[in-house]
Amino acid sequence: MEKPRNVIVRKLTKSEKKVLQRYTPNELAAQRLFLADQEAVLSIPTEAPGWVYNKTAADSFRHRVISGRFGNSSFLVTQENTHVNTNLKTYFRKPQNIKVTTEELRRFPKESPFKTRRFKTCSVVGNGGILNGSGCGEEIDASEFVLRCNTPPMDDKYWKDIGRRTNLITMNPGQVNFRYNSFGNKKKFEKIAFKRASKAFQEAKEAFLQDLSVYGDSYLFIEAFLYKLSAKRAFLAHQVLLESHAKYEVIFPHPDFIRSVHSYWNESGVVAPRVSTGLLMTSVATQICEEVHLYGFWPFHSDRNNRRLTEHYYDNALPSDAHKISEEFKQLQRLHNTGVLRLTTTACQ
């Protein structure tokens, strides 16, 4: 699925720029990060050369990461595995039950769109600054299915390094508040029909639809069940898309699946309040793809050639303390070296 032609990329609002600046280090701090990471990179072993897919190891990993409970039909919330009055337990901070209503059940697909599908090759594209100058775009697009994280920019100037295609894109529910001001509905989360005429709602809706337009007709993957407020924000975004007759199919990961993924990585040494979106999508990709290829996963501000890197390929905002990105990277290297997945941390040929 290629990026639609002639799409105008939306400029950041003043409030978005302000938040971005808050998390972006000044030049002195950025230089210190670069120097510190130069030292750190020296201690990081390189990935094993001559990568070969190991189906036995990959199948074993698929089974272990989900505790054998989930398959293509059940890692998403669907009308097959969820019913009216089902309690879905949130998985971040203090768990809370969300009772599924008739209206909410209609938001879920009747069955997983991946129930009977397994893709031969998939690219999971992280947003690391290592992508800049990588020339990996064509290789990324050559995969049968492309997953991207957290609605990153897809400007023309990045295509050579990040590719054009997107089949699944994730969105953090917090972005509904941060980017779209909860569609002018910050305090109340009733049905949004009464807000249609408001200027705040219209501006937020237009920004939302414009931002999503760069991903074509992708699946929109939203972690709704972090906690109760995230579910409200996710359903609000879904409602906007429904009322706008948008073409995106919104899918929500099952909270029990997320819990299983977190438990696996925690036991593997990634001890953190939450795994990153990149690691989560890597875990998801192993459930729907035969071969998983990773790009843009590199937790340092220096590459192996002492080239200074930004945090992301599009900005230098630092990540949340909720994640242990360096520990995650070590696990990805381990999986690369055992043939479970392929991790690309150098320029593509």
In tens, the pLDDT along 42-84 reads 888 888 888 999 999 999 999 898 866 665 557 999 999 999 9
User: Which of the four pLDDT bands, split at 50, 70 and 90, describes residue 299?
Assistant: very high
For residue 323, indicate whether it is catalytic: yes
Domain that holds residue 48: 14-344
Question: Residues 198, 182: contact at Cβ < 8 Å?
Answer: no
Rounded CA gap, 241 and 225, in Å? 19
Question: Residues 98, 239: contact at Cβ < 8 Å?
Answer: no
Q: The whole model's pTM is what?
A: 0.91
In tens, the pLDDT along 135-159 reads 999 999 999 999 999 999 999 999 9
- The reported pLDDT for the residue numbered 200 is 80
Q: How does strand 87-89 pair with strand 168-171?
A: unpaired
> Does residue 322 have a pLDDT over 80?
no
Rounded CA gap, 190 and 246, in Å? 20
> Does residue 1 have a pLDDT over 70?
no
In tens, the pLDDT along 248-297 reads 899 999 999 999 999 999 999 999 888 999 999 999 999 999 999 999 99
Q: Looking at the domain assignment, is residue 4 inside a domain?
A: no
- Which of 328, 309, 305, 297 lies closest to 33, judged by CA? 309
Q: Looking at the domain assignment, is residue 290 inside a domain?
A: yes
Burial letters 56-90, b for 16+ CB under 10 A, else e: eebeebbeebbeeebebebbbbbeebbeeeeebeb
Q: Looking at the domain assignment, is residue 59 inside a domain?
A: yes
CATH code of residue 333: 3.90.1480.20
Q: Looking at the domain assignment, is residue 1 inside a domain?
A: no
Q: Looking at the domain assignment, is residue 102 inside a domain?
A: yes
Query: What's the structural domain count of the chain?
Result: 1
In tens, the pLDDT along 189-218 reads 445 444 555 788 888 889 999 999 999 999
**From the centroid of its chain, how far is CA 132?**
19
Q: Looking at the domain assignment, is residue 2 inside a domain?
A: no
- Which of 92, 139, 93, 108 lies closest to 295, judged by CA? 139
Rounded CA gap, 105 and 267, in Å? 33
Q: Looking at the domain assignment, is residue 109 inside a domain?
A: yes
Cα dist from 290 to 61, 117, 145, whole Å = 12, 11, 11
Name the active-site residue from 238, 254, 312, 323: 323
**Percentage of the chain modeled with pLDDT above 90:** 64
Q: Looking at the domain assignment, is residue 349 inside a domain?
A: no
Give me the mean pLDDT over the 12-29 stretch: 70
